[in-house]
Chain A
Amino acid sequence: MNKTDKFSNKVEISFLEDFGTAIIRPLLGIFLGLLSGGILIAASGVNPFTAYAAMARGAFSTPQSFANVLVRASPLLLGGAGVAIGIKAGVWNIGMEGYMYMGAIGAGIVGILPLHIPSFLHIILCLIAGIITAGIWGSIPGYLRAYHGVNEVTVTIMMNYIAQFFCSWMVHEPQFMAEPGSFFPMSLSMVETAKLPILMRGTSLHPGFIIGIVLCIILFLIIRLTAFGFQIRMLGTNPEAARYAGVNTKKQILTVFIIGAILGGLAGAIEILGLKYRVYMDFVAGVGNESVAVALLASGNPIGVIATALFLSALKVGGATMSISTGVGGPATTIIIALCVIFVIAMGQGEPKQLRLDKEEKKDVEVNQHVS
C-alpha cells in the first residue's frame, strides 16, 4: 500500500459513523448525568422526581420562563459554537470566558458613548468593537499554539484569569469606563441607543439567542460545505494528512482560534448590550466552562450546540425553581452539568481514532494476506 492511498483513506470522513456516536453518546451521557444527579438529590432527602418535575416546570411552564431559558442560552450558544469549531479542528480553544470579558469591554467602551446615531448603527458598532477586542485576545493563544506549539489549553485558561482581572481594572474608578462613586465597581450604563431591543414584554428576552442559533447554523454549513470547513475537519482528524494535502495548518489553527474568540466576544458583547447593560467583574462567571460543556455534549457539532445550549440553560433556569420549591438547587445543577460531560467524555474520548486505526491495521493485514 503506497503512501497516498493510505492518506486518502484516512481523510475520508464517514459521516454516518460519526452521526451514530454523535447522537447516542451524548444522550446516554445526559441520561447518566441526570440519573446520578437524581441519586444525589435523593441522598439529600428530596424525592428526585418531584425535584426534576419542579425543574421542568421552572423552565417550560410559562412563556416568561421559557423566555428566560432563551436569554440564558444566548451566551452558551455562541460560546459553545466557539469551542465546537476548535474541537472540529483538533484544538481546545477553551478561553471563552476571557473572550467574553474582552468582547464586553470592547462593546462596552462604544456602548457608553452618547453617539446620537440610530440604535441599529450603534449596536453594530458595539458588536464590531467587541469582535475586534476579542479577536485580538484570541490571536494570542492562537499564535502561540500555531507557531510555537505552546499547549493551548493551559494558555487559554491562564488568559481567562488575565482577562477577568483586566476587566476588573477597567471598571474600577480612575478608569474612564467606571461608574463614579458606585459601591460595587462597574462600568457606566450603556446608553439607550446601544441597548438591544426587548422582544417580549415583561421579560428580558433580547435577540441574542436568534443571533446564536443563526451563527450555529452558518458555522455548521461552513464546516460541512466549504473547502475551508473541509480543511478544518481534516486538521481535526488527521493533521499530518492535512499538511500533506497542502493545507497551511498554522494559519488554519490561528484562524480557528480567532473565529472562536470572535464568537466568544460576541457572546460577551450581547450579554452586555442585551441583558446586563453594564460591564462588571464576574458578569459571565462560569459561562466559559459551561460553553466547554455545551460543545462537548454536542461532540463539537454546531447544530448539536443549539440543542445542548438550550438543554443546559433549561437546567440552569429550572434549577432555580427547583431550589425554591425543594431546597436543592444551584449546586445540584452544577453537578448534573459536570457529570453529564464527564460521562460523555469518559465513554469515548479518542476512541473513534483508535477504531479507525484498528480498522486500518486489519485492512493492512488483509492486504498483506492477499499479497502473500
Chain B
Amino acid sequence: MSPDIIIDWLQAVLRWGAPLILVSIGEVYSERTGIIDVGIEGIMLVGALVGVIISFFTGSVLLSSIVSIIIGALLGLIVAFLTVSRKTNQVVTGLMLNLAFLGLTNIVFSFFSETRSVRVNRFPVLFPESLKSIPILGPIFFSQPISTWIALILPFLAAWVLYHTSWGLNIRAVGDNPQAAATAGLPVIGLKYQAVILSGIFAAFGGCVLTLGEVGYFASGGMTAGRGFVVLAAVVVGGWDPVRTALACLLFGATDAAQLRLQTSGSTVPYQFLQMLPYIITIVALSGLVNKSKAPKTWGQPYNPKDI
C-alpha cells in the first residue's frame, strides 16, 4: 500500500468520523441519565436535510447549523416526552420515530429537489494553503473543514462538563440511582429531559455536518445509512465516556472508510466483515466478555417517581 492511500484513508477517517463523534456526545449524556435515544438516526437525517435546505437558500452555514440545532432540540423534546413522561419502550419508540423521520425527510426533500442540482455551501476550511501543504499532517488535519475540528475538540469539553461540573454530576446521578437523586432534591425528570434534548441537538448538528462537512447535497432514502446505530454501538464500546466514545467513533469510522476502499478497489477481501465489526464488538462489550462495561445502572429502564 502506498503512503498516499494511507493518508487518504486517515483523512477520510476524520471526515466520516466527525459527524459520528458529534452525535455520540449527546447520546452519551442521554444514556448517562438512563435513556437510550435510538431516534438519533432519524434526527440526524432531519438535520442533514435541514442543513442542505438552509444552506441552499441562504448560503450561510452558520444559519444552517443554528436552524438544525433548533429543530433537533424540538425532535429531542418529542423523544423525551415519549420515553420519559410516557415511559414508552425507548428502543421501540426510537425505531418508530426513525421510520417517521425517514418518511418525513423523503416527503420534504421532494419539495426541495432543486437542491439536488448544486453542491450547497459547506463548512469552510480555515487553514491557509501553507499549512495544507505540510506533508502528511497537511492533508490529514489542515485540509479538514472547521466542523471536523469542532468534533475533535468537543468530546474533551463534554467530558469536563460531565465529570467536573455539578450539572454533570447530577446527570450521572440520575442515571445511576434516580431514587437517590430524587431524594436529594434533584429534578430527575427535568434532567432526563435536558439530556435527551441535548442528544437531539447533537444528532441534528451531526447530521448537518454529515451533509455540509463534505458532500454538500442530500440524497433521499436514508443517507445516514445506519450511522445512528453505529453511534449507539460506539457509546457502549466507549463505556459511556465522551472521549473514549469519540475514539470508538473514529475506530468505527476507520473500518467504514476501509471497507469503502476495499469495495471500490474490487478487492476480494470480504468487506462485509469490516461492516459487521462495530456491531460484533458492541455485543461482545455488552456481554461483559472482555471487561465488565460500566453501563449506567438504570440504562434503558423507565423511571417512575412512585417506585421507591
Chain A residues with CB under 8 Å of chain B are 40, 44, 92, 94, 144, 148, 150-151, 153-155, 157-159, 161-162, 165-166, 168-169, 172, 174, 286, 289, 292-293, 296, 328, 330-335, 337-339, 341-342, 345-346, 349-350, 354, 357
Q: Which residues of chain A are within 8 angstroms of B275 by Cβ–Cβ distance?
A: 161, 165, 168
Is B91 a contact partner of A92 (Cβ separation < 8 A)?
yes
Task: Kindly state the separation between the CA atoms of A74 and B280 in the bound complex, as whole angstroms.
Answer: 30
Which residues of A are found within 8 Å of B229, using beta-carbon distances?
157-158, 161
Provide the residues of chain A in CB contact with B286, threshold 8 Å.
Answer: 144, 150-151, 154-155
In the complex, residue of chain A having the shortest beta-carbon distance to the beta carbon of B259: A165
Q: Return A92 CB to nearest CB of chain B, in Å.
A: 6
B288 / chain A contacts, CB cutoff of 8 Å: 148, 150
Is A293's CB under 8 angstroms from B104's CB? no
Q: In chain A, what residue has the closest Cβ to B107?
A: A331
A238 to chain B, nearest CB (A): 15
Could you list 19 examples of A-B contacts with CB < 8 Å?
A: A92-B92, A144-B286, A157-B91, A159-B279, A159-B283, A161-B279, A166-B276, A292-B95, A330-B103, A331-B110, A334-B100, A334-B102, A338-B99, A341-B96, A342-B93, A346-B86, A349-B87, A350-B87, A357-B306
Known: A157-B229, A338-B97, A345-B89. 18 other contacts (CB 8 A): A44-B107, A150-B288, A151-B300, A153-B92, A155-B286, A158-B229, A158-B283, A165-B272, A166-B272, A166-B276, A296-B92, A328-B107, A330-B103, A345-B82, A345-B92, A346-B82, A346-B88, A354-B306
Alpha-carbon distance A165/B279, docked complex (angstroms): 11
The verdict on A174 contacting B82 (CB below 8 Å), with A94-B91, A292-B92, A292-B95 known, is no
Q: Which residues of A contact B106 (CB under 8 A)?
A: 330-331, 334
Bound-complex Cα distance A365 to B96 (A): 40
Closest CB-CB distance, A364 to chain B, in whole Å? 14
Which A residues are in CB contact (< 8 Å) with B103? Answer: 330-335, 338
B50 interface residue (CB < 8 Å to A):
no
- A172-B82 CB under 8 A given contacts A151-B300, A157-B229, A354-B304: no
CB distance from B112 to the nearest CB of A (A): 13
* B171: Cβ under 8 A from any A Cβ: no
**Interface status of B287 (Cβ within 8 A of chain A):** yes
CA distance A246 to B181 in the complex (A): 36
Cα–Cα, bound, A158→B235 (Å): 13
Q: Are A345 and B93 in contact, with the CB atoms below 8 A?
A: yes
Q: Which residues of B are found within 8 Å of A346, using beta-carbon distances?
A: 82, 86, 88
**B93, chain A: closest CB distance, angstroms:** 7
A352 CB, nearest partner CB in chain B, Å: 12
Write the nearest CB–CB distance from A70 to chain B, whole angstroms. Answer: 23
Q: How far is the CB of B100 from chain A (nearest CB, A)?
A: 4
Also in contact, A289 and B276, with CB within 8 A (given A154-B286, A349-B89): no
Q: In chain B between 258 and 304, which residues have their CB closer than 8 angstroms to a CB of chain A?
A: 268, 270, 272-273, 275-276, 279-280, 282-283, 286-288, 299-300, 302, 304
B135 within 8 A of A: no
Looking at B232, B279, B306, the one whose CB has the most chain A CB atoms below 10 A away is B279
In B97-117, the 8 Å CB interface with A consists of 97, 99-100, 102-104, 106-107, 110-111
CB distance B92 to A338 under 8 Å? no
For the complex formed, measure the closest distance between the CB of A337 and the CB atoms of chain B, giving whole angstroms: 7
Evaluate contact between B270 and A172: CB separation under 8 angstroms.
yes
Q: B280 to chain A: which residues have CB within 8 Å?
A: 158, 162
With the chains together, A159 CA to B278 CA distance in Å? 11
Q: Which residues on B sit within 8 Å (CB–CB) of A357?
A: 306
B232 to chain A, nearest CB (A): 7
Asked whether B236 is an interface residue with its Cβ less than 8 Å from the other chain, the reply is yes
Interchain CA distance A158-B276 in the complex, whole Å: 9
B13 at the interface (CB under 8 A from A): no
> 5 smallest A-B Cβ distances: which pairs?
A334-B103, A338-B100, A331-B106, A335-B103, A169-B272
In the bound complex, do residue A168 and residue B86 qualify as a contact, i.e. CB atoms below 8 Å apart? no
Bound together, the chains give a CA A292 to CA B111 distance in angstroms of: 30
B243: A residues at CB distance < 8 A: none
Whether A338 and B276, one on each chain, are in contact in the complex, defined by CB atoms closer than 8 angstroms, is no
How many angstroms from the CA of A154 to the CA of B87 in the assembled complex? 18
Give A338 to B102 CA distance when docked, in angstroms.
Answer: 10
Residues of B within 8 A of A333 (CB): 103
Min distance, Cβ A88 to any Cβ of chain B, angstroms = 14
Look across to chain B and name the residue whose beta carbon is closest to the beta carbon of A288: B95
Contact A335 B100 (CB under 8 A): yes
A331 CB to closest chain B CB (Å) equals 4
Smallest CB gap from A347: residue in B: B86
Per the bound structure, the CA–CA distance linking A9 and B221 in Å amounts to 51
Contact with A along B180-217 (1 / 0, CB 8 A): 00000000000000000000000000000000000000
Closest residue of A by beta carbon distance from B220:
A331
User: Is B93's CB under 8 angstroms from A162's CB?
Assistant: no
- What is the CA–CA distance of A144 and B97 in the complex, to the nearest angstrom? 27
Note all chain B residues with C-beta closer than 8 A to A92: 89, 91-92
Q: Does B36 contact A (CB under 8 A)?
A: yes
Is B233 part of the contact surface with A, judged by Cβ < 8 Å?
yes
State whether A349 and B273 are in contact (beta carbons under 8 Å apart), knowing that A154-B286, A335-B103, A342-B97 are contacts in the complex. no
Chain A residues near B128 (CB, 8 Å)?
Answer: none
Alpha-carbon distance A339/B89, docked complex (angstroms): 15
> Does B226 interact with chain A (Cβ within 8 Å)?
yes
Given contacts A92-B91, A144-B287, contact A339 B236 (CB under 8 A): no
